[in-house]
Amino acid sequence: MIYAVACKSCGHVLDKAYKQKERGPDGPAGPWTVSDEPLTPQGRVPVLCPSCGALRNWRQPATKEDIEKFEAKKTRIARAVELTKAPNIDGMFKVPDEVRTAPEVKIALSNLFAPLEGETLKVAQALALKVAKSGFVVSSEEWIEMYDKAVAKAVADTKTETKKVKVPA
């Protein structure tokens, strides 16, 4: 198991120690930066959280749940970045008008809906409307994750229904 610390405010996890740059020949020591060395209980961590700026608000050591939440957040952000690189015009026409959301979420929806057609598209649009009307107050990355799961569920549901239809009785 690795040793890590977690910010109590935002959940950011640090597992690398901080090192100070060597003192130059004519000046003071340099700034503290992240090193490649793993963090130990005696290792240095910054006073401020690099993610949210909270002051001395570290949980030492980080729990397994803290690390799992942070890893899930990193994968969610990576998927959101992948889906919001560029809008897909064909997919934009498939997004229901009732979905009122942030522009980056609309771009993600256009990329999710672009390859869908027929019954799969109808089911995905219906599930997207349910997600849109859910009333949750979450970040854009979490909205994108919810829409992504809704589209994946629509694709899976229509695949199982087509298998049921194709099997002769």
Arithmetic mean of pLDDT, 31-38: 83
Q: Residue by residue, what is the 3-state secondary structure of 39-56? A: CCCCCCCCCECCCCCCEC
pLDDT of 166 reads 61
Residue with tokens 């997600």: 131
Question: Averaged over 39-59, what is the pLDDT?
Answer: 87
**Pairing relation of β-strands 16-20 and 13-14?**
unpaired
pLDDT for the residue 167: 52
Q: What is the pLDDT of residues 136-162, one digit of tens each?
A: 889 898 999 999 999 999 999 888 877
Query: How large is the average pLDDT for residues 40-65?
Result: 88
Average pLDDT over residues 118-127: 93
| Adjacency order of strands within the sheet including 13-14 | 13-14, 5-7, 58-59
